């Protein structure tokens, strides 16, 4: 299924020799129209990889013919030569498709600070375009993996149209889009303005609420292409809900596969005075290393939750805070609550609920525990 | 030496049975005057332990007779009963000294969310007051250890006066004072206003620039007591410089002994447009888990440094950033610089220099690497 679930899209994932192990490393997703409406959201990191700088310009035009992606190298912090490499990649795709480079989005993922092996990449572009087919969605999702252990795909069917998507991302996961790449396709008829509005709304409640390690990448990119092949102009609210479901599905898959994680943790803040407050508190908890270590140790150490909440400027009274871990209210009114021995932290799925007692707004951020495996994996990544 | 290096101070550290292993767990530092000028700085965490809430009130009066400290329990998130425990502790000290509880600072460290064993603590208070002596400084420093592997003490002599200090803190180290307790004493003659001004200036450039794990504690307390026994009214600038040296010495000892750390890392930002910018960038790097894992792996992964810099709002142009690791400029003008193979990361001491090329201001934050030992230690702390 994946990005080729909607009609009018072809995709491929090929091995171009960028990755040393010979696994797939170049992916393409081609929109055969009739429409080329598109939008994208990018990392908020001010140090942006060359493909991000390029693709931001492309997307401003509101039209995208294809997205070319590579794993095995981020092409970040590579200066003007790196930007030229991205440009050359887009030109090669455009040549192969007899189209304009100005409508080709480029995305890269991998190690920062190294040039891409351009002969391999450009040959890979040719091979990917040649291989692109209606059944290529899964291979494309496979080709964008770095430390991901599984390919991440999702799709939803609406009345008369389909939305499909793929994503990658396992380390450096943080709000404002993790080190993640995602391509989402639909055969619904949408304008580029609709794409932009709907994509921003969906990502703000999904990908941007995933925070595995608080580290914001230089390459995050989420692209939505609407080809219109179904001939169906969707109800916008309904489409938005389905798009959010696809993004949510993919975001949860990212957390489930996060580097070295042994727990998938929902940090749920309730009783907040505002959504900003709820998110600020949820992120502070999700990023607290001591809390994350406690979760790894299956230790319901709610003091660390309160310690994290206290670092924020959200509206709350410390004496009215309540905390539940997997449904047991271990902290009531800022002090010891129910018996912490009742908390079962054995399952992989953990829910931590923080009740600010300051209003009626709720929000959830998804994170992981901090494990010795995470440290192992990330202390040996580039060498 | 420690807190009893200046004349006019007595101290003790005793075993009261709060810690299960029978180690020292109650410390007292008594100022025998003639003056009781004092000041303190406390955690900025809004979830404050009972002893912090108590001591903030005490210090408002500008006079402190003694500081009573315990390890083995933080008395944080313990509600009104916890506050009563702190009050009772101060009263017991006051009784033993035939003095006023309103001039007794209380500090606690240990696990959050549990009541202190009051019979043991109160007996410990009596024993500590009875044992307090001119040579008790080292025992006091020993008694405030939690996961600290060594006692931390420092002193400096000025013309006609002495400054002494002790500190504890190994985990939950972050700006705004880490989970750290520190008592600093001097026999110089100072007003409480001078104490306050000088202590804030010194801690802002020392303890507040230590950031081992970004986790802000509920209990951080640094107290300065000036007893005036030397009869010397110091030059304020000179005293301030020496006080800063004592704080810096203690702060470095905290980093050197941080939980599970294998590296002591100075994140030095130069070329900043302002001190705020320099500190913001230094903290962003110091808190970046991927960078910290790379340091543990002795991997000069400068891309992660740039990735962290890019998350800040400091003034800089990504194309003009330079990064050196242990003196090798591995990133120049935002791209690949000198050969990363030249970087020697084997020594414990590491210096990462970030040149923002945006001005002439510099600042340094001290941090540690993120290790499997840190995760081990912090995943098993409370159970």
CATH of the domain at A212: 3.60.70.12
* Listed range (A158-162, A259-263, A296-300, B221-225) with the worst mean pLDDT: A259-263
Best mutation target among B290, B318, B319 (most A Cβ atoms within 10 Å) is B290
Of A78, A113, A215, nearest to B290 by CB-CB distance is A215
- Would you state the structure tokens that stand for residue B211, as one six-digit string? 């950031």
| Other Cβ atoms closer than 10 A to A159 | 11
How much is the ipTM here?
0.82
Inter-chain touch B290–A111, beta carbons under 8 Å: no
- The distance of A323 to chain B (nearest Cα, Å) reads 12
- A223: which DSSP letter? E
Angle A79-97/A118-131 helices, nearest 10 degrees?
A: 30
Q: Which of A314, A211, A303 has its CA nearest to residue A269?
A: A314
- The distance of B89 to chain A (nearest Cα, Å) reads 20
Q: Which of A224, A214, A17, A18 has its CA nearest to residue A110?
A: A18
* Predicted confidence band of residue A344 (pLDDT cuts 50, 70, 90): very high
- Would you state the structure tokens that stand for residue A24, as one six-digit string? 């797939």
Inter-chain touch B48–A310, beta carbons under 8 Å: yes
- Would you state the structure tokens that stand for residue B338, as one six-digit string? 């000198």
The predicted structure's pLDDT at residue B248: 94
Inter-chain touch B334–A47, beta carbons under 8 Å: yes
Statement: residue A226 has pLDDT above 60: yes
Residue B117: partners with Cβ closer than 8 Å, 6 or more residues away: B17, B18, B73
The predicted structure's pLDDT at residue B199: 97
Inter-chain touch B79–A302, beta carbons under 8 Å: no
* Predicted confidence band of residue A330 (pLDDT cuts 50, 70, 90): very high
Strand partners, B155: B164
Among all residues of chain A, which has the CA nearest to that of B114? A336
Residue B119: partners with Cβ closer than 8 Å, 6 or more residues away: none
- B288: which DSSP letter? -
Residue B241: partners with Cβ closer than 8 Å, 6 or more residues away: none
End-to-end Cα distance, chain B: 36
DSSP3 helix / strand / coil % (chain B, rounded to 5): 35, 25, 40
Inter-chain touch B383–A297, beta carbons under 8 Å: yes
- The distance of B298 to chain A (nearest Cα, Å) reads 8
Whether residue A228 contacts residue A8, with contact meaning beta carbons closer than 8 Å, is answered with: yes
Q: Which of A139, A141, A76 has its CA nearest to residue A382?
A: A76
B271 and B242: one domain?
Answer: no
A180 and A217: one domain?
Answer: yes
Residue A238: partners with Cβ closer than 8 Å, 6 or more residues away: A158, A159
A304 and A228: one domain?
Answer: no
Neighboring chain B residues of A48 at a CB cutoff of 8 Å: 310, 318
Angle A289-296/B372-379 helices, nearest 10 degrees?
A: 70
A250 and A272: one domain?
Answer: no
Q: What percent of chain A has pLDDT over 90?
A: 79
Neighboring chain A residues of B114 at a CB cutoff of 8 Å: 336
Of A82, A299, A382, nearest to B301 by CB-CB distance is A382
- Tens digits of residue pLDDT in A82-135: 999 999 999 999 999 999 999 999 999 988 888 999 999 999 999 999 999 999
- Would you state the structure tokens that stand for residue B158, as one six-digit string? 């000025």
CA pair distance B145, B152, nearest whole angstrom: 9
The predicted structure's pLDDT at residue B113: 86
Which residue range is the domain that position B282 belongs to? Answer: 264-379
CA pair distance B55, B221, nearest whole angstrom: 9
Statement: residue A254 has pLDDT above 90: no
CA pair distance A160, A85, nearest whole angstrom: 40
Neighboring chain B residues of A45 at a CB cutoff of 8 Å: 307, 310-311
Neighboring chain A residues of B331 at a CB cutoff of 8 Å: 77, 113
- The distance of B216 to chain A (nearest Cα, Å) reads 7
Structural element, H or E, at residue A204: helix A192-204
CA pair distance B145, B97, nearest whole angstrom: 25
**Going by DSSP bridges, is the β-strand pair A26-31/A9-14 parallel, antiparallel, or unpaired?**
antiparallel
A203 and A274: one domain?
Answer: no
The sheet with strand B26-31 has its strands ordered as B9-14, B26-31, B66-70, B104-108
The predicted structure's pLDDT at residue A214: 64
A114 and A56: one domain?
Answer: yes
The predicted structure's pLDDT at residue A99: 97
Inter-chain touch B47–A335, beta carbons under 8 Å: no
A149 and A271: one domain?
Answer: no
* DSSP code per residue over B303-325: HHHHHHHTTS--S--GGG-EEEE
Q: Which of A247, A74, A41 has its CA nearest to residue A153?
A: A247
B221 and B302: one domain?
Answer: no
Whether residue A107 contacts residue A119, with contact meaning beta carbons closer than 8 Å, is answered with: no
Best mutation target among A220, A262, A293, A321 (most B Cβ atoms within 10 Å) is A293
Three-class SS state of B370? coil
A120 and A208: one domain?
Answer: yes
| Other Cβ atoms closer than 10 A to A242 | 23
Best mutation target among A78, A218, A290 (most B Cβ atoms within 10 Å) is A290
Q: In the listed set B240, B256, B272, which residue is the last one of a domain according to the structure?
A: B256
CA pair distance B218, B112, nearest whole angstrom: 8
Three-class SS state of B40? strand
A–B interface: beta-carbon pairs under 8 A: 217
Q: Which residues of A are catalytic?
A: 179
- Tens digits of residue pLDDT in A44-76: 889 999 999 999 999 999 999 999 999 999 999
- The distance of A257 to chain B (nearest Cα, Å) reads 17
Among all residues of chain A, which has the CA nearest to that of B79? A335
A71 and A199: one domain?
Answer: yes
Q: In the listed set B256, B291, B317, which residue is the last one of a domain according to the structure?
A: B256
B228 and B280: one domain?
Answer: no
Among all residues of chain B, which has the CA nearest to that of A316? B46
Statement: residue A281 has pLDDT above 50: yes
Statement: residue A383 has pLDDT above 60: no
Q: Which residue do the tokens 């993922």 mark?
A: A109
Whether residue A359 contacts residue A272, with contact meaning beta carbons closer than 8 Å, is answered with: yes
Domain with residue A335: its CATH number is 3.10.20.340
Residue A341: partners with Cβ closer than 8 Å, 6 or more residues away: none
B209 and B271: one domain?
Answer: no
Q: Which of B376, B378, B329, B326 has its CA nearest to residue B357?
A: B329
Whether residue A146 contacts residue A170, with contact meaning beta carbons closer than 8 Å, is answered with: yes
CA pair distance B82, B71, nearest whole angstrom: 15
Number of domains in chain B: 2
Inter-chain touch A319–B46, beta carbons under 8 Å: no
Whether residue A310 contacts residue A318, with contact meaning beta carbons closer than 8 Å, is answered with: yes
Residues of chain B with pLDDT under 70: 1, 170-179, 212-215, 381-383
Q: In the listed set B238, B256, B274, which residue is the last one of a domain according to the structure?
A: B256
């Amino acid at each position: 299924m994946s990005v080729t679930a909607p009609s009018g899209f072809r995709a491929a994932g090929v091995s171009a020799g960028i990755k040393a192990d010979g696994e797939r490393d170049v992916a393409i997703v081609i929109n055969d129209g009739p429409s080329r409406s598109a939008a994208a959201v990018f990392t908020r990191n001010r140090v942006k990889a060359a493909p991000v700088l390029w693709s931001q310009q492309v997307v401003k035009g509101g039209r995208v013919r294809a997205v070319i992606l590579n794993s095995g190298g981020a092409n970040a912090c590579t200066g003007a030569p790196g930007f030229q490499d991205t440009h050359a990649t887009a030109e090669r795709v455009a040549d192969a498709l007899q189209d304009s480079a100005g409508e080709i989005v480029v995305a890269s993922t991998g190690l920062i600070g190294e040039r891409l092996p351009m002969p391999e990449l450009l040959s890979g572009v040719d091979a990917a375009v040649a291989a692109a087919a209606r059944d290529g969605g899964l291979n494309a999702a496979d080709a964008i993996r770095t430390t991901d252990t599984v390919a991440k795909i999702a799709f939803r069917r609406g009345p008369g149209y389909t939305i499909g998507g793929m994503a990658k991302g396992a380390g450096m996961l943080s709000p404002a889009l993790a080190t993640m790449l995602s391509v989402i396709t639909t055969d619904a008829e949408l304008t580029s303005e609709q794409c932009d509005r709907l994509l921003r709304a969906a990502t703000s409640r999904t990908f941007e609420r995933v925070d595995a390690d608080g580290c914001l990448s230089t390459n995050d990119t989420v692209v939505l292409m609407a080809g219109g092949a179904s001939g169906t102009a969707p109800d916008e609210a309904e489409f938005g809900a389905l798009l959010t479901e696809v993004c949510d599905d993919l975001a949860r898959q990212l957390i489930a596969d996060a580097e070295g994680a042994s727990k998938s943790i929902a940090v749920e803040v309730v009783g907040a005075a505002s959504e900003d407050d709820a998110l600020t508190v949820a992120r502070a908890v999700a990023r607290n290393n001591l809390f994350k270590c406690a979760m790894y140790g299956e230790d319901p150490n709610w003091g660390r939750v309160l310690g994290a909440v206290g670092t924020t400027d959200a509206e709350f009274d410390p004496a009215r805070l309540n905390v539940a871990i997997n449904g047991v209210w271990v902290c009531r009114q800022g002090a010891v609550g129910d018996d912490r021995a009742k908390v079962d932290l054995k399952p992989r799925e953990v829910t931590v609920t923080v009740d600010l007692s300051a209003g009626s707004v709720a929000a959830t951020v998804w994170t992981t525990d901090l494990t010795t495996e995470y440290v192992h994996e990330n202390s040996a990544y580039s060498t």
